[in-house]
């Protein structure tokens, strides 16, 4: 009985340092959040909602498809317009976990009022 107790204590003494050996934990890859939800509530309007705060500063761009001439995006909160805009946090949620922003599509001068466009967001 004494011998069993002694062996148990001896094993515990050598096992404890082996468990607490220290070291470095490494991982590679990217921790990703859900992307913005995009919608078109009315013709010529693009709304990005539920965007993670990390998406602020991403690039929003527009490209005409088919026989449509160029167009610009107008940031309705800042009033800026271009074919390529930074995503801005216009309406931030109370807990500051996400934001929404609104943009309007403005066709080029002399272009049709309606058309087909590809609006894309590039998460940097």
Rounded Cα gap, residues 42 and 49, in angstroms: 15
d(CA 61, CA 28): 30
What domain range includes position 109? 37-122
Please indicate, yes or no, if residue 52 is contained in any of the structural domains.
yes
How many of the other CB atoms lie within 10 Å of CB of 62? Answer: 20
pLDDT 10s digit of each residue in the chain, 124 long? 455 544 455 455 554 454 555 677 776 766 677 789 999 999 889 999 999 998 888 999 998 888 777 889 999 888 888 888 888 888 999 899 999 999 999 888 766 667 788 899 888 7
Q: Looking at the domain assignment, is residue 89 inside a domain? A: yes
Residue 41, domain member (yes or no): yes
30 inside domain: no
Strand partners of residue 101: 48
Strands (E), the chain: 37-39, 45-52, 59-65, 71-75, 81-82, 84-86, 91-92, 98-107, 116-122
Q: Is residue 90 part of a domain?
A: yes
Residue 4 in any domain: the answer is: no
The number of domains in the chain is 1
């Amino acid at each position: 009985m004494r011998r069993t107790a002694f062996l148990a204590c001896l094993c515990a003494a050598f096992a404890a340092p082996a468990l607490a050996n220290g070291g470095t934990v490494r991982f590679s890859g990217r921790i990703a959040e859900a992307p913005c939800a995009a919608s078109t509530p009315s013709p010529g309007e693009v709304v990005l909602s539920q965007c993670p705060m990390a998406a602020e500063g991403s690039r929003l761009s527009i490209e005409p498809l088919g026989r449509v001439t160029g167009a610009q995006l107008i940031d309705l909160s800042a009033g800026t317009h271009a074919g390529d805009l930074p995503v801005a946090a216009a309406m931030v949620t109370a807990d500051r976990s996400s934001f929404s922003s609104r943009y309007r599509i403005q066709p080029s001068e002399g272009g049709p009022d309606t058309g087909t466009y590809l609006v894309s967001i590039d998460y940097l």
